[in-house]
Structure 1
């Protein structure tokens, strides 16, 4: 397989048509080598328009979804980022190229170690993997400039919103099957948030994700 041709095809045929037009983001997809973060058994599918399997039933997001969320978050070099759901570490590596520091929290110990090893192999020095449950956020390093939830949320927990700085942005896939909204939530002040729906998709829910209240009055 011609890897660079496959990468070019991924960018031009999958990602650009999904309204990913920020040239810095497109360039980053050539710098951070996706094939280096894919489990060895799926290396030939690194550039396919698929959610690639990861250990213990987890998946990497579609390349177009990762790129679109990266574009919409518009991370800046001075910003600190929380990612929830490290997976293979690929999304955190992309974020790390644009941020000052990334903390990515992974509930599955095997995946946390896989992501950590991928950071070492790929020279990602400003991203840290933490093994833990961040389904309600990760208060240890809060507040954050940017929070990226790399898994589904039936509802966005208030605790998570409160871990954003004023002016900070949160990316999340909100709702349930069959269709969820990819949202960018911006904290306007201490109590107000602006929600922008970017596109529709489906992403499996985070383990221990907060569920909507079933009570009706």
Structure 2
């Protein structure tokens, strides 16, 4: 069924709904409203609210048909994202792709660092690997393509950009994002509660530091 404000509600299995919207701004607004209504107790029994690039998944829904009927009357605008805590990540900007990204931006490497670190990002959604947050905030003119050939191994803590997103690799893995630098902050730690440092709505700033300050 199709809801007002460009939202499409789809049934997923026995106890879940998938809400589809047109863009990331509407995802942020929808996610914020769902969190607020769950906190007020007006959504009923609901185990998980999981945002993605163009969707929000509601899992553990006691009565999917009834909730879908209610959501069909919602109007979602592009305002009202979740205001999460601010996380600052000390970052050494010495990545192997920094010069190439600076060239794509038409600037030198120092200016590229200034531009990337001068933005307050927001975690739009998580995916790809545990603790990996997709950070929005890059202006459209700073969007860059992924590498033509992905690397077989990207070190944990690598600070990267691809498309309109920034991110930090929480663990070593293959990857095709452009690497700008590195941080020693652990984004995923199973000995911590919660294990993931970044969650949807968390605000993120990259703070440039010298290599000897990287601990």
Greater Rg by CA: 2
Larger strand fraction of residues: 2
**Higher helix fraction (1 or 2):** 1
TM-score if structure 1 supplies the norm length? 0.29
Q: TM-score, normalised by structure 2?
A: 0.29
Higher RCO structure (Cα 8 Å, ≥6 apart) = 2
